[in-house]
A and B are shown apart, each in its own frame.
Chain A
Amino acid sequence: MQLFPCPFCGPRDETEFHYGGDAGNARPDGADVPIERWANYLHMRGNPKGVAREVWVHMNCSEFFVMERDTVTHEVLSSTALDGGHAQ
């Protein structure tokens, strides 16, 4: 069982967390967003092998945060609170 660090609650069991997607995947803004840009935002993913910056939610306290993780070793490199819903 792996422990993930919630920036608010400290180290907690991995089963309390839910993966939320790539960090920095900004929603397109405005009326003239081309279809490809929407598809890119909705579906295309970096999915890196190695260091990844991801949004996670700690379901117990409902806070979203950014976790840097190695997707091969599963080592957690950092865990950062979101500022007003945006990755810092």
Chain B
Amino acid sequence: MTTRYSALSLLKEGLAGQTGWKPAWRSPEPKPTYDAIVIGGGGHGLATAYYLAKNHGITRVAVLEKGWIGGGNTGRNTTVVRSNYYYPESVALYGLAHRLYEGLSKDLNYNVMLSQRGMVNLCHSVGEMEIGARTVNAMQINGIDAELFSPEDVRRVAPIYNFSPNARFPVFGGIWQGRAGTARHDAVAWGYARGASRLGVDIIQNCEITDFIIEGGRCRGVRTTRGDIRAERIGMAVAGHSSVLAAKAGFRLPINSYALQACVSEPVKPILDTVVLSPGVGVYVSQSDKGEMVIGGALDRVPSYGQRGNLPTLEGVVAGTLEMFPIFGQLKLMRQWAGIVDVVPDSSPIIGESPLPGLFLNCGWGTGGFKAIPAGGTLLANLLATGRHNDISRPFDLDRFATGRLIDEAAGSGIAH
């Protein structure tokens, strides 16, 4: 009857022939009613359920997942955790996520393998260095760790970068965030799932939403492939499929769904111990604990719900990787995949009540949802528990698209989504 992974239990199970391991979370039949329903069993949905139980004492909660938990974008990202944003609203949001990540393994008693190996965003020209200095200043003023790197600093943390005199994108310096790094993405989903399940949350997989139950102009529940389930407050955290559910609920969102690709090489010995992003080629690379080079790039340019990705973008990403690290020229690519991300005009998420009262949104994270999981969960849980925004979630309400108070991080921090 072992569900914890201490040294003692590993030894015990080793001696017992590994026969006593139990599933880390329960898989109960859905009940007809709950206090709150969370649609989507990815990182954001599971974190929402966990914080509903932990922070607000609401444990009659169901997480409804169409497939298996962590099987969408939570299992498809490049595992980078960072908070190098520009606007104070974004810093409050991603800073909260970053701080919670730093305590997450202890909080969940589940090793999410957070590795704060630092991340450098390279600057390839004098102009980019000036913008880099502005970004570093903004981050420091907002209380986020940041440092402006010289070319020598970049050479120190990433000696295998292409520093040749005829490099297409020479290094003038970079923006360094030392607290940035990577975390084990599956462990984040599984850790939140185990934590939520222990606190009484029902995690229900293979349960697809077919429609919303709307009575008196309010959302009162959901129709699913496993029957009707009712609750007075319903949250959805379904990333690239937000528009599909919104259409069932009778409203539209400021979202276009695109495929975002990633790929990994065969595993090799440790050679890159930080995360390196080159805006010149639009590619970033880190090395996983298994030794694979984890490579991410820009969005595909064709709106899509196909979780495959198109060839031109992959070609550009691979070419960019080799421009950054010519030493990788002989590496074989092992896997390539894509997730469907929800891209919003101002590149900032949408958190708040939807146009259908009783239904709350956590979506629009674009290409950067993984790093925000603990904050997305905390804020959606707060909305579901209290029905009201707090200071951190308020600026990200859907109403900003009518008021014009956009938080344009594509302009602010130069993110590519």
B305 touches A49 (CB 8 A): yes
B401 touches A43 (CB 8 A): yes
Bound form: Cα–Cα A42–B346 in Å:
12
Question: Which of A40, A49, A54 makes the CB contact (< 8 A) with B244?
Answer: A49
A77 at the binding interface (Cβ < 8 Å): no
Binary contact track A17-49/B, C-beta < 8 Å → 1, others 0? 011000000000000000110111011111111
A78 at the binding interface (Cβ < 8 Å): no
Bound form: Cα–Cα A48–B243 in Å:
7
Count: A-B pairs, CB below 8 Å: 70
A47 touches B401 (CB 8 A): no
- List residues of chain A with CB within 8 A of the CB of B304: 71-72, 74
- List residues of chain B with CB within 8 A of the CB of A38: 402
A72 touches B253 (CB 8 A): no
A71 touches B303 (CB 8 A): yes
Q: Which residue of A lies closest to B252 (CB)?
A: A44
B348 at the binding interface (Cβ < 8 Å): no
B310 at the binding interface (Cβ < 8 Å): yes
Question: Which of A36, A43, A72 makes the CB contact (< 8 A) with B345?
Answer: A43
A44 and B254 in contact, given A49-B305, A74-B302 (Cβ under 8 angstroms): yes
Q: Within A39-88, which residues are at the interface with B (CB < 8 Å)?
A: 39-40, 42-50, 52, 54, 71-74
Question: Which of A45, A52, A54 makes the CB contact (< 8 A) with B253?
Answer: A45
B401 touches A2 (CB 8 A): no
Bound form: Cα–Cα A18–B312 in Å:
13
Q: Which residue of A lies closest to B340 (CB)?
A: A49
B244 touches A44 (CB 8 A): no
A71 touches B253 (CB 8 A): no
A47 and B306 in contact, given A18-B301, A36-B402 (Cβ under 8 angstroms): no
- List residues of chain B with CB within 8 A of the CB of A71: 257, 303-306
A1 touches B311 (CB 8 A): yes
Q: Within B279-332, which residues are at the interface with A (CB < 8 Å)?
A: 301-306, 310-312
Bound form: Cα–Cα A43–B345 in Å:
7
Q: Which residue of A lies closest to B346 (CB)?
A: A43
A46 and B243 in contact, given A2-B310, A15-B312, A35-B402 (Cβ under 8 angstroms): yes
A19 touches B254 (CB 8 A): no
Binary contact track B360-375/A, C-beta < 8 Å → 1, others 0? 0000000000000000
A45 touches B254 (CB 8 A): yes
B contacts with A, residue count (CB < 8 A): 23
A45 touches B255 (CB 8 A): yes
Bound form: Cα–Cα A72–B302 in Å:
11
Bound form: Cα–Cα A67–B243 in Å:
20
Question: Which of B256, B310, B312, B403 makes the CB contact (< 8 A) with A45?
Answer: B256
- List residues of chain B with CB within 8 A of the CB of A2: 302, 310-311
- List residues of chain A with CB within 8 A of the CB of B305: 49-50, 71-72
Q: Which residue of B lies closest to A15 (CB)?
A: B312
A47 and B303 in contact, given A35-B402, A39-B401 (Cβ under 8 angstroms): yes
- List residues of chain B with CB within 8 A of the CB of A50: 305
B255 touches A1 (CB 8 A): no
Bound form: Cα–Cα A36–B257 in Å:
22
Q: Which residue of A lies closest to B313 (CB)?
A: A15
Q: Which residue of A lies closest to B316 (CB)?
A: A15
Question: Which of B247, B306, B402 makes the CB contact (< 8 A) with A39?
Answer: B402
Q: Shortest beta-carbon distance, A7 to chain B, in Å? A: 18
Bound form: Cα–Cα A44–B402 in Å:
10
A47 touches B302 (CB 8 A): no
Q: Shortest beta-carbon distance, A30 to chain B, in Å? A: 18
A45 touches B301 (CB 8 A): no
B60 at the binding interface (Cβ < 8 Å): no
Bound form: Cα–Cα A2–B253 in Å:
28
Q: Which residue of B lies closest to A46 (CB)?
A: B252
B241 touches A54 (CB 8 A): no
- List residues of chain A with CB within 8 A of the CB of B252: 40, 44-47
- List residues of chain B with CB within 8 A of the CB of A18: 301
- List residues of chain A with CB within 8 A of the CB of B302: 2, 14, 19, 74
Bound form: Cα–Cα A1–B243 in Å:
27
Q: Which residue of B lies closest to A44 (CB)?
A: B252
Considering the complex of A and B, which 9 residue pairs feature the smallest CB-CB distances, nearest first? A47-B243, A43-B254, A39-B402, A44-B252, A43-B401, A49-B305, A72-B305, A39-B401, A71-B305
Chain B positions within 8 Å of A, measured between CB atoms, are: 241, 243-244, 247, 252-257, 301-306, 310-312, 345, 401-403
Known: A43-B254, A71-B303, A71-B305. 18 other contacts (CB 8 A): A1-B312, A2-B302, A14-B310, A15-B301, A19-B302, A19-B303, A35-B402, A36-B402, A42-B401, A44-B254, A45-B252, A45-B256, A47-B255, A49-B241, A49-B305, A52-B303, A74-B304, A74-B310
